[in-house]
């Protein structure tokens, strides 16, 4: 059950009951969900809520395939940026018509490259390739934001170690090394970016990124705690109209210095009106279409919202938007099929969402340094919707336990092979 509550947990009001039962419509067009993890799980559940059948394409064997709406509808296929590989897979499917919905950066690249050659029976609602290129490249994005006079942090592309010499001395140590592939970086290193103290520290971490095949940019650190981060999620239809918006505020993250959100709540759109206006100018300039999630940080130095990045695909907490009445997965489906897309901008203020057990780890760290008491933390999370657990779909929450036997068996096999050799 989702409830509304202020950040300190002092007021609450029931919003809605449990999720509806899955009722696929006869003759409905299915959605091929390309991806895994929390993002794919949220998309599958969001579409199931409105009776849309899904087929999950996943090569990772993680929690998304544990969903009751995915267990018997999964195709094993490794994640790829290659349009030809994706086309080969799609041509083997028996669907007369289907919608493609990529849930990762790599799958988004593959679908974007496929649109010119894909059979007409596969529909999408995605931005043009030019928009994807600008939003994926932090240097191109910075240029676009400068041209449109939208506030953003100072940014510099770092191709080699020599490029670090181009960072002004005054910028150190308030610098992040951010990845060009944020999803792969987060999965590999467990954080969203590297904090660096000086040039030598930056050089060492740049080498780690290059060893992983991930590019880097240096970006100014905007001062302030995690709760100065705001997110604006939504959807733009085929006519370029922003049909859905949801605004939320990060309260905690883990790791607590620079990680992923673990606890958040919705805020009124009026509160972030300045950020919304700038974002809408950018989306219009790029002739954007499809799902988006933009991250801002409120700068205490000049009271300005600075745009950090824009995701061109579903994000981790897409199901939270659905629980708040903003089902962008459904809107993407309708738009891909040229059906009318309703406006969705009304949502409960103060609705809360938590990622467990990650928020427990964040709480333990904050409690040790004296910045968060148990009573405050408990009031905040009590009644919040959980990012993984759902009463109508509980198995994904138990994925870490369910995979243990397989992990133990794999380790045993490795030991036996080493003994034989």
Domain boundaries along the sequence of the chain: 31-124, 154-220, 224-397
Pull the structure tokens for residue 256: 């607590």
**pLDDT for the residue 59:** 78
Fold of the domain spanning 154-220: Dna Ligase; domain 1 (3.30.1490)
Query: DSSP E strands: which ranges in 132-212?
Result: 155-158, 175-179, 194-196
Angle between helix 182-189 and helix 105-114 axes, rounded to 10 deg:
150
Edge-first strand listing for the sheet containing 74-76: 74-76, 54-58, 31-34, 98-102, 122-123
Once rounded to an integer, what is the mean pLDDT over residues 28-33? 93
Burial class, 264, CB count within 10 angstroms (exposed 0-12 / middle 13-18 / buried 19+) = buried
Chain centroid to CA 203: how far?
Answer: 28
Contact 252, 362 (CB under 8 A): yes
What is the chain's mean pLDDT, rounded? 86
Q: How confident is the model at residue 214 (pLDDT cuts 50, 70, 90)?
A: confident
Question: Cβ neighbours of residue 27 under 8 Å, at least 6 residues apart?
Answer: none
Element (H, E) at 90: helix 83-91
User: 31-124 architecture in CATH?
Assistant: 3-Layer(aba) Sandwich (3.40)
Residues of the chain above pLDDT 70, percent: 87
SS3 24: coil
Contact 288, 240 (CB under 8 A): yes
- Identify the residue whose tokens are 């950090």: 308
What tens digit of pLDDT does each residue of 334-359 get? 999 999 999 999 999 999 999 999 99
Q: How far is the C-alpha of 235 from the C-alpha of 291, rounded, in Å?
A: 5
What tens digit of pLDDT does each residue of 309-319 get? 999 999 999 99
Pull the structure tokens for residue 41: 């799980």
Contact 115, 124 (CB under 8 A): yes
Whether the ω angle into residue 357 lies within 30 degrees of 0, i.e. cis, is yes
Question: Is the pLDDT score of 116 beyond 90?
Answer: no
User: 224-397 architecture in CATH?
Assistant: 2-Layer Sandwich (3.30)
């Amino acid at each position: 059950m989702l409830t509304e509550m202020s950040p300190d947990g002092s007021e609450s009001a029931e919003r809605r009951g449990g999720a509806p039962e899955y009722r696929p419509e006869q003759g409905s067009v299915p959605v091929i969900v390309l991806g895994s993890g929390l993002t794919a799980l949220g998309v599958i559940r969001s579409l199931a809520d409105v009776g849309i059948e899904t087929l999950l394409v996943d090569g990772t064997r993680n929690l998304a395939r544990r969903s009751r709406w995915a267990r018997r509808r999964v195709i094993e296929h490794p994640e790829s940026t290659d349009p030809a590989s994706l086309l080969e897979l799609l041509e083997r499917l028996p669907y007369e018509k289907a919608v493609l919905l990529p849930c990762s950066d790599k799958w988004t690249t593959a679908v974007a490259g496929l649109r010119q050659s894909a059979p007409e029976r596969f529909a999408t609602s995605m931005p043009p390739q030019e928009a994807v290129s600008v939003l994926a490249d932090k240097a191109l994005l910075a240029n676009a934001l400068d041209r449109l006079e939208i506030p953003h942090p100072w940014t510099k592309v770092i191709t080699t170690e020599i490029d670090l010499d181009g960072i002004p001395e005054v910028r150190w140590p308030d610098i992040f090394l951010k990845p060009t592939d944020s999803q792969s970086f987060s999965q590999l290193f467990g954080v969203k970016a590297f904090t660096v103290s000086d040039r030598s520290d930056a050089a060492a971490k740049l080498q780690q990124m290059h060893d992983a095949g991930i590019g880097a940019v240096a970006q100014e650190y905007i001062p302030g705690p995690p709760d100065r981060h705001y997110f604006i999620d939504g959807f733009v239809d085929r006519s370029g109209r922003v049909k859905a918006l949801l605004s939320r505020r990060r309260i905690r993250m883990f790791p607590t210095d620079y990680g992923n959100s673990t606890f958040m709540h919705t805020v009124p759109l009026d509160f972030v009106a300045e950020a919304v206006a700038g974002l809408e100018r950018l989306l219009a300039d790029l002739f954007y279409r499809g799902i988006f999630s933009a991250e801002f940080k409120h700068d205490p130095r000049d009271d300005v919202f600075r745009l950090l990045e824009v995701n061109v695909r579903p994000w981790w907490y897409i199901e939270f938007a659905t629980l708040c009445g903003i089902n962008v997965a459904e809107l993407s489906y309708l738009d891909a099929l040229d059906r009318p897309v309703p406006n969705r901008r009304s949502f409960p203020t103060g609705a809360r969402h938590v990622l467990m057990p990650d928020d427990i780890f964040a709480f333990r760290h904050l409690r040790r340094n004296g910045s968060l008491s148990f009573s405050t933390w408990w009031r905040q999370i009590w009644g919040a919707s959980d990012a993984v657990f759902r009463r109508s779909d509980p198995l994904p929450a138990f994925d870490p336990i369910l995979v243990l036997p397989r992990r133990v068996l794999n380790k045993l096999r490795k030991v036996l092979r080493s003994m034989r050799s």
